[in-house]
Every structure is written in C-alpha cells, then in structure tokens.
Structure 1
C-alpha cells in the first residue's frame, strides 16, 4: 500500500510541475499583453494627433509584434497544459489492489 501511495505522490507531483510550467507561459503572455497595451494607446494617440504620420505606424507595428509574441507564449502554454494526463499507473495499481483485497475478503468468508 505504501508503494502505491508513493507512486501516486510521484505521479501527481510530476503532473503538477507540468501544470505550473504551462501556466508560466500564460503569465508571460499576460505580461506581454499588458506591456503592449501601452504601445497600443501610444500609437493610437500618435495616429489621432498626426493623422497618419509614419511614427505612429511604427508604434502600431511594435504593438502588433508584441501581440504575436503573446500569442506564441499562449500557444506554448496550451501545448504544455494539453500534455497533462491522469496518473494511469496509479489508477491501475489501485484498481488491482482493490480487486485483490476484495477477492481476499471473499475467500475468508
């Protein structure tokens, strides 16, 4: 029984670490979006003030680039989180043990 508990603990710890790594990508994406919002508003202000001067276009390009970076990190986070899976060996082992204990109890009756 101790071996099964250790196996479960090991598998759950491994999956939690994967989940944390995946969520880091979402945090990075959120940070990039928050910082890029500054460029968006700055570019919008330049666009309104200058009515199409190249400088405002440059700020808009920077904003677009930062959104692409955020999208890449979001996709990396999704990919990492999709790799999470149930602790199959533990589930199988617990089912086997439960079945063995059930049959063992039937024999004593």
Structure 2
C-alpha cells in the first residue's frame, strides 16, 4: 500500500512539474506576442505624433496666407493649448474616480477567509 501511495505521489509531482513548465512556456510565448504588439502601438503613436506635427505646420502655412506668419503660429499653438487643457481636465476628473484598492478582490478574500474559519456555514 505504501509503495502504491509513493508511486501516486511521484506521478502527481511529475504531473504538476510538467504543467508548471507548460504554463511558463505559454506565458513566455504570450509575453513575446504582447511585446511585439506594444512595439507596434509605440510606432503608431510616433506616426500619429508626426502626423499632428505636419498637420500643424500645414495649418500655420495656410493661415500665413491670410495673417502674419507669427500670428498664424500663435493661433495654431493656442488651439493645441486649448485641446491640452480640455484633455487634462477630463483626465483629472476621471482619475479622481479611480480606486487604488481592488474592491472586488478584497471582498472575495474576506468571504474566503470567513468560509475557511467556518466551512460548514
């Protein structure tokens, strides 16, 4: 009986070890894919920044045909400043609603602890 129990324990340890190695390999593979995707997001962000820069220059040159070039640059800068102020205000108001404590997890852990103390309830 002891020999059988020892064999089952050994098989379970081997199984757990193999499952852990499989999980590590899957996580590594997914992390690699996520890293590549993040790099592509970064490239897209850079391209969007360059697009905004050149669109702003085009707006300055277009306005320079109507008003003095220095005033045209100030008008475009003012538009960007207004956009930045609106986005800052929106971001700040949303940040105040963020809770740093994972509320649902804390509640679940409390329930688990209560159940562990009194499993028959």
- State the TM bucket, normalised to the shorter chain: 0.3 to 0.5
Structure holding more helix per residue: 1
TM-score normalised by the chain length of structure 2: 0.40
